[in-house]
Amino acid sequence: MCTTCGCGENSKPKLIDPKTGNVVSIDLRQSHDREPAHHHDHDASHTKTIHLEAEILAKNDRIAERNREWFQEQNIMALNLVSSPGSGKTTLLEQTLRDLGDQMPIFVIEGDQETANDAERIRATGCRVVQVNTGTGCHLEANMVAHSMGKLQPSRNSIVMIENVGNLVCPALFDLGERCKVVILSVTEGEDKPIKYPHMFRASDIMILNKIDLLPYVQFAPDKCIQYARQVNPGIHVFQLSTTTGEGMDAWTRWLKQQVQSKEKMGT
């Protein structure tokens, strides 16, 4: 995370409106500076690092809880989409928007270190989107989502999709106030990803196994991958799909509609 991997150093996250190109720096009011190395006092330095990590996570969790309360008040279902780079998160979002965009309001926050490329792709579908550039940061934080809501202005009874920075490590630790994390894994990656990165798969309620149209051409055993995922998280719900051919997309979009409808019935 921040105090150990060095992300966020000398860089302020930016919120970008892809429609206007306007950029707003986000002041997280969090110190990412690390103590100078003191080889003669390793234990003390290590203790300071642990305390700083705990403080960062505690502050993030407080903001995340406020985000969650706001989402609940607005009856908004917020999903945190996480994965390694290249899994197909943005393409999944594009196809989901095409399938459901005329049936329910969906809003998107795009997280990347640089560029507004993904936000431009999402905006082309007609969806309202904001881009958060984290600079050297390797994950989104709750404060970034809170700032984004002011610009995004999602309507009541809607879905907010948060596409996190491509990384299977740090995003597992940072609650954004989402209803649940959705981890996307493609068949072009190793089937053992769930046991290599157990914290992410343990933190996620949903796993989407993407690019199944490529199964005839790659060495990947879906059953073993799902077994590994349930080894670290027995309750994880799995969707197998291809955003290219559309196979399996119906089950995913049906689940989304059911979740929204169940919240409406509960009046929450």
CATH number of residue 206's parent domain: 3.40.50.300
- pLDDT at residue 36, rounded to an integer: 39
The strand pair at 128-133 and 106-112 is best described as parallel
10-residue mean pLDDT profile of the chain (268 residues): values are 51 73 65 41 55 78 97 96 96 96 94 95 96 93 95 95 96 96 97 97 98 97 98 98 97 94 59
What Rg, from alpha-carbon coordinates, does the chain have?
19
pTM of the model: 0.83
pLDDT of the residue at 22? 78
35 within some domain: no
* Domain housing 244: 2-26+43-266
- Distance, CA of 156 to CA of 107 (rounded, Å): 11
| Alpha carbon distance 7, 223 (integer Å) | 35
Asked whether residue 8 is domain-assigned, the answer is yes
For residue 108, give the amino acid letter: V
Short-list 21, 15, 62, 31, CA closest to 177: 62
Taking alpha carbons only, the member of 82, 37, 106, 70 closest to residue 182 is 82
The answer to the question of residue 53 being in a domain is yes
* pLDDT at res. 134: 93
**pLDDT for the residue 40:** 47
Residue 33 domain-assigned?
Answer: no
Position 38 in a domain: no
Is 127 part of a structural domain of the chain? yes
What is the number of residues in the chain? 268
Dihedral sign for Cα atoms in the order 191, 195, 197, 203: positive
Phi then psi dihedrals of residue 251, to 5 deg = -65, -40
- Residue 12 maps to a domain: yes
How many domains are contained in the chain?
1
Predicted confidence at residue 14, as pLDDT, reads: 76
- Whether residue 36 is contained in a domain is answered as no
